[in-house]
Structure 1
Amino acid sequence: MEKYCFHEMNDKYLDEVLQIYTHYVLHTSATFHARPLTRQEMRKLVFFDGEKYKTFVICADAGVCGYVLIAQHKNREAYDGTAEITVYLKPTCTGQGLGSMAISYIEEYAKRQKLHVLVATICGQNEASIRLFEKNGYSQCAHYKEVGQKFGQLLDVVAYQKIIN
């Protein structure tokens, strides 16, 4: 079994993380970005000020396998105990338990940051991500109908949450 490790996001991983994200932009509705991002745009998605919100790159012997992050849920003090969780894996690294490992890792980090709730926002068509979060104890808390548009389709968005602290 391959050994995985997590490293805090830094510039040396940016191109590989951008490459992973670009795959999902171009080929899936996992993200509602409609065109590939520039390095600078990607930077804004994965680098944060302070310690509370972070991105971690998932690595193995073969290199970067994906990344997981927690980001601010809403820019209001009332939401300071809530964060959004995001996981993206290289397509060749899915189905191996790595998604669950990434969720577990970021939940432990979030607990140390005194976060109370994590929310995953998922395209309603993304059955693999829905199964992943359900398997890891997240429950559906919202369903927004036809709020996104990509590939000529109106898409639903579902939100899953887990109380971690």
Structure 2
Amino acid sequence: MIRPASPEDATAFAALYNPFVLNTTVTYELDAVSADTMAQRIQAKQPEYAWLTLEDRHAILGYAYYGNFRERAAYHHVVESSIYLAPAACGRGLGRMLYEALIARAQEQGYREMIGVIALPNPVSIRLHEALGFVPVGTLQRSGYKFGRYLDTGLWQKALTPPTQAPG
């Protein structure tokens, strides 16, 4: 089941997210995130932006969200997305299902473009984004530094509405 996230999900989200923080380069966050911090992040983004929870039999298997891409007002129609899945959810089509729900929510809210920001290399994330219609639009070289090495960041973009429509 996919449902809107709430601050009550924060403990499960932090438990799911922190192994990515501490053991991988898929996020550029360096320190584990507390449940309180995660709850604040969820509350700060809603209702303007969306956080979604993927749940099966009361177990949280993943979450996805979008927020502002950049602070300047001219970017107000563009959102940046993120998705995190528990290992048990991978390879079952659940990530695609969750991301499709996130895209639909962004379209319902009138956003025009979605940006996937991917720490490179990450072939699994690239495959997911491209399967959902995102196209690569650029690479920021040496933009992250984690575990003693520089990392590149890839940008993938998806049009949510026809480009002929002016932002609302």
Same-fold call, TM cutoff 0.5: yes
Match of 1:104 in 2: 100
Match of 2:68 in 1: 72
SS at match of 1:40: helix
Match of 2:166 in 1: none
**In the alignment, is the contact (CA less than 8 A) between 1:25 and 1:31 conserved in 2?**
yes
| Number of corresponding residues | 161
**In the alignment, is the contact (CA less than 8 A) between 1:9 and 1:47 conserved in 2?**
no
Equivalent of 1:135 in 131, 137, 141: 131
Match of 2:114 in 1: 118
RMSD: 1.3
Equivalent of 1:13 in 2, 9, 14: 9
CA-to-aligned-CA distance 1:55-80 (integer Å, 9 cap, x gap): 11110125101001111111121111
Matched, 1:30 2:8: no
**In the alignment, is the contact (CA less than 8 A) between 1:47 and 1:55 conserved in 2?**
no
List aligned pairs for 1:138-149, cutoff 5 A: 138-149=134-145
SS at match of 1:111: helix
Equivalent of 2:82 in 82, 86, 98: 86
SS at match of 2:44: coil
Cα distance change, pair 121–44 in 1 and its aligned pair in 2 (3 A): farther
SS at match of 2:36: helix
CA distance in 2, matches of 1:161, 1:44: 27
CA offset at residue 52 of structure 1?
2.5
Cα distance change, pair 131–37 in 1 and its aligned pair in 2 (3 A): same
Matched, 1:43 2:39: yes
Match of 2:154 in 1: 158
SS at match of 1:103: helix
**In the alignment, is the contact (CA less than 8 A) between 2:81 and 2:114 conserved in 1?**
yes
**In the alignment, is the contact (CA less than 8 A) between 2:7 and 2:43 conserved in 1?**
no
Structure 1 consecutive aligned stretches of length 4 or more whose deviation exceeds 4 Å: none
Deviates more, 1:146-155 or 1:50-59: 50-59
CA distance in 1, matches of 2:32, 2:106: 29
CA offset at residue 49 of structure 1?
4.7
**In the alignment, is the contact (CA less than 8 A) between 1:81 and 1:116 conserved in 2?**
yes
The runs of 5 or more residues in structure 2 that have no matched partner are 162-168
CA distance in 2, matches of 1:68, 1:31: 14
Percent same amino acid at aligned positions? 24
**In the alignment, is the contact (CA less than 8 A) between 2:67 and 2:80 conserved in 1?**
yes
